[in-house]
Structures are given as structure tokens and as C-alpha cells.
Amino acid sequence: MVQLLLVTHPVESAPELARNLVEEGLCACVNILPACRSIYRWEGKTCDEAESMLIIKTAMQPIEQLISEITQRHPHDCPEVIVLALEGGHAPFLRWVEEN
């Protein structure tokens, strides 16, 4: 089953995280959307940060190993990691994700 992970990450270190995840075989592909602005509450303050949005495609099971790697390498105490199961898509692409 192919899944997508949505992860926000500091702009300057997002490419390194993405490359490491792919090279270690934890995912097939990572898209980096570099122009994400996050506004959120943290420890009683409103924060406003430029971040990258990572869209990670994987067939990895269990998904917890990938989540663990992301959270260990992330500089925030509570990083955004959201897992979405896919209902469908272009079959050749989904096969490629499963094979990689």
C-alpha cells in the first residue's frame, strides 16, 4: 500500500533530510515545496516561520520506522508528520513506489 507523508521542515536542511530518507531506502521519492509559511501556537506564543513542505511517497511497512527516522532528525520537539493512505492513482507510478 502506498502512503504519503506530509512533513514540514526548516528550509535549509530539508534537502539533506529528503536525500537521506531516499538513499537509506525508507521512501521512493520526496518532493520539496520550499515556499511554505507556517503560523502556529507553540508554548503560548504565535510563531511565524518559513518552512519547506516535504511530500514523501513510500510503501514502507511498518510506517513507524520512517516516522521515527524523521522525528529523530527533525530540529523541532513536535514536528508535523501526517500520514495519508492513498485510495488510488496512476498504477505504473504506484507500482514504482512499491518497488522502491
- At 88 the three-state DSSP class reads coil
Number of domains in the chain: 1
- The more confident residue out of 12 and 60 is 12
Mean pLDDT of 37-51: 96
Mean pLDDT of 57-61: 87
- At 15 the three-state DSSP class reads helix
Q: Flag whether pLDDT at 37 surpasses 90.
A: yes
Mean pLDDT of all residues in the chain? 93
What residues contact 66, with CB distance under 8 A and at least 6 apart?
5, 21, 26, 27, 56, 58, 60
- At 60 the three-state DSSP class reads coil
pLDDT of residue 61: 82
All cell numbers assigned to 54? 516535504
Query: What sign has the CA pseudo-torsion 2, 89, 84, 40?
Result: positive
CATH of the domain at 10: 3.30.70.120
What residues contact 34, with CB distance under 8 A and at least 6 apart?
11, 14, 52
- pTM for the predicted model, two decimal places: 0.90
Mean pLDDT of 38-64: 93
In which domain, by residue range, is 30 found?
3-99
Closest CA to 32 of 48, 47, 43, 18: 18
pLDDT of residue 94: 93
